[in-house]
Chain A
């Protein structure tokens, strides 16, 4: 039920159609001349104590990282359980359902209980997908604390959890209702003809299903749900995002049918339980059938039944309206095309794009969705901003890596093609860029880098883009943030990749040294290509060449070092890279703090 365009989570320049994992070679560390702070990380010094493999979970670290998510999960489970049990008991013990329960049995209670759980989940599932609303909540520091903002990072997981719950309870609901239909047919009631759904005793259950509104709408709902569920498997999302996106957009039909599902009133309740207490003697019954005269009294009137007022729309209409308003807002906001100011080609298939848009405001770490009708009318691809508009410059920029057909075609439209034509006089062409629409910006976990005293940013390959924006903001006004120290680790496969932001890193490094804060920024670069012998030879990139190591980083040593230097502080760990790295880092953050600092893990999530 996610109503997102083709590209929901930032890929930082990599298109969704293909993915090339950043593989790492075996470490062959060399020790270049480095500032004293980092020298201890050399491979020569081996930690005495726990080897890299065993990392026991520390309660305090685990609580710092996982407690919030699990608390919300417990709340959600409790709400579902309470709803289920409450509805179950209502239908199994309620006086007004006595006769219906007699006819249908257990199936009635289970189907109604699962229906109320479904109501709750169908309404909750839309809320995490209101991106602009979540970005607004994340941005307003008065409304949210850091803990709540960290919970917002998990909105997609919550959406998936609700979705899975919908599928499971739909299965339960459908099975219970199938039992009900069979019982409606088999226990056709002659005494209370109003209560029946079947037209005659022994009517074929299939006929009942396909000729009543609840039955037919139920079948359609199950089909749509199955289509949506099957095409949202990880494999299809990774390989063919469009299939996932277009089938998921069927949610609107799902909700419309859901709201008419109860029309027709298959299940009825008794309205006059005082006048006709269930189990009383009816006028047609004789006294001999009654065992005890005192207990069973005579019915004053016949039982009257009334179908339920459909309730689903009460649950669902609020979030649905909110979501539709949000989509409309985003559509209006992105309807003006942006002006492309510059296009720069970088090594390793990266293109930098600088754009201009009126009233565009963004914070470092946020991402945007690009739509280029010249490439594909319906595809939207996410890219993290690498430069935000400030008072001094109004342009904003992205770095996109050419992987997959959309980015290839887009880059082809942007970059000047090598001309084979012979031109005697150079002709100045007005460069005609394609029209481009930008939706966003949307919030991401990397916005929190400035809200810690000490932050550790770990980037893998093109995953450096959110941190590049952070560095860009630091150059302008590093004094105005709460951040006191930034550790920046960048792991790339090839040396040429570092040239994407070499200027930025050196400029920031130089500025901080000039302003007598050399310990503010600590850069560590790793190149993992096995046979990488050359280093960055340019004079102006000497600070980077001095901080470059060949081989994979040793994370435990890194964490211990940072912990020792920042005792009793909360260090924000921000990871944007391959899953392998983020899993290792997550485990490290939760593990034993022998060194004194608490590491809070924040991850940029991919689709």
Chain B
């Protein structure tokens, strides 16, 4: 199966699961069905999963496409360091989060989807993948040397007149060492 990046699929699945959990929770609370407490939990859990999964990871090979407006989410998720970087943590977190959703009809679908996402994350973690933030590239330029900013005050050094006469006739013989160094600092 080559070099499939399971994490990308897991990310899409988890984001969709978060949205479904959120929707199911809203329906459950709005209809005041039996067990609506689980629905209110599902709203919170769904929201949290969406926030966590919104920033896409940087691909190991190839171009990574960001989701619109994901930069602030990237910064937040990156702040947690190794906890969010590691996919084992995400796998177990999603597995734990999905369990209470299974007790109410409206949130069952979100629960199963999140469970599947958790399994795919486990597969990604086993293959050694981890989450990398997509950060805007900072082009570091070389600091401009001082000598460039101001134009030269003096003309370039000219060779003495004997050498100048020689240059006209014999270029090789007129080679000389310049006494003043003409280099870029």
Contact = CB atoms under 8 A, between A and B. Distances in A.
A178 interface: yes
A236 B113 contact: no
Nearest to B2: A405
A239 B62 contact: yes
A19 B65 CA distance: 12
Contact of B113 (A175, A226, A231): A226
Contact of B4 (A223, A226, A227, A240): A240
B1 A242 contact: yes
A18 B16 contact: no
Interface string A135-175: 00000000000000000000000000000000000000001
Interface in A275-320: none
Pick from A222, A230, A405 the residue with the most CB of B within 10 Å.
Answer: A230
Contacts of A222: 109
B12 A230 contact: yes
Contacts of A335: none
A233 to B, nearest CB: 6
B65 to A, nearest CB: 6
A438 B4 CA distance: 24
Interface in A357-409: 376, 379, 405-406
Nearest to B106: A178
Pick from A182, A231, A239, A406 the residue with the most CB of B within 10 Å.
Answer: A239
A405 B3 contact: yes
A606 B12 CA distance: 22
Nearest to A376: B2
Contact of A223 (B27, B63, B105, B112): B112
A439 to B, nearest CB: 20
A206 B63 CA distance: 45
Nearest to A241: B4
B13 interface: yes
Interface in A8-23: 17-19
Contacts of A18: 61-62
B116 interface: yes
Range, interface on chain A? 20 to 34
A231 B12 contact: yes
Contacts of B4: 240, 242-243
Interface string B1-21: 111111011001100100010
A226 B5 contact: no
Contact of B8 (A209, A240, A379, A406): A240
A376 B3 CA distance: 12
A476 to B, nearest CB: 40
A235 interface: yes
Contact of A227 (B6, B8, B61, B116): B116
B9 A209 contact: no
B59 interface: yes
A182 B9 CA distance: 35
A406 B3 CA distance: 10
Nearest to B1: A242
Interface residues of B, number: 27
Contacts of B62: 17-19, 239
Contact of B13 (A19, A230, A235): A230
A242 B3 CA distance: 10
Interface string B90-121: 00000000000000011011001100100000
The B contact surface, by secondary structure, is helix
Given A18-B62, A223-B112, A240 B105 contact: no
Contacts of A227: 13, 116
The A contact surface, by secondary structure, is helix
Contacts of A19: 62-63
Contacts of A236: 8-9, 12
Nearest to A235: B65
Contacts of A230: 12-13, 16
B33 to A, nearest CB: 8
Interface in B138-179: none
A205 interface: yes
Contact of B105 (A206, A379, A405): A206
A376 B113 CA distance: 30
B2 A178 contact: no
A239 B112 contact: no
Given A205-B105, A226-B113, A233 B12 contact: yes
Nearest to B27: A175
A411 B59 CA distance: 25
Contacts of A175: 27
Nearest to B63: A19
B105 A209 contact: yes
A223 B109 CA distance: 8
Contacts of B16: 226, 230
Nearest to B16: A230
Given A222-B109, A239-B62, A17 B2 contact: yes
A239 B116 CA distance: 20
B9 A243 contact: yes
A231 B10 CA distance: 9
Pick from A175, A206, A405 the residue with the most CB of B within 10 Å.
Answer: A206
Contacts of B61: 18
A272 B182 CA distance: 110
Contacts of A235: 8, 12, 56, 65
Nearest to A231: B9
Pick from B6, B27, B63 the residue with the most CB of A within 10 Å.
Answer: B63
Contacts of B20: 226
Interface string A213-243: 0000001001100110011010110011011
A547 B4 CA distance: 43
Contacts of A226: 16, 20, 109, 113
Interface string B60-90: 0111010000000000000000000000000
Pick from B2, B65, B105, B116 the residue with the most CB of A within 10 Å.
Answer: B2
A233 B16 CA distance: 11
Interface of B: 1-6, 8-9, 12-13, 16, 20, 27, 33, 56, 59, 61-63, 65, 105-106, 108-109, 112-113, 116
Interface of A: 17-19, 175, 178, 182, 205-206, 209, 219, 222-223, 226-227, 230-231, 233, 235-236, 239-240, 242-243, 376, 379, 405-406
8 contacts: A205-B105, A209-B105, A219-B108, A223-B112, A235-B65, A236-B9, A243-B9, A405-B3
Given A226-B113, A405-B3, 15 more contacts: A17-B2, A17-B3, A19-B62, A209-B105, A223-B112, A227-B13, A235-B8, A236-B9, A239-B5, A239-B8, A239-B59, A239-B62, A242-B1, A243-B6, A376-B2
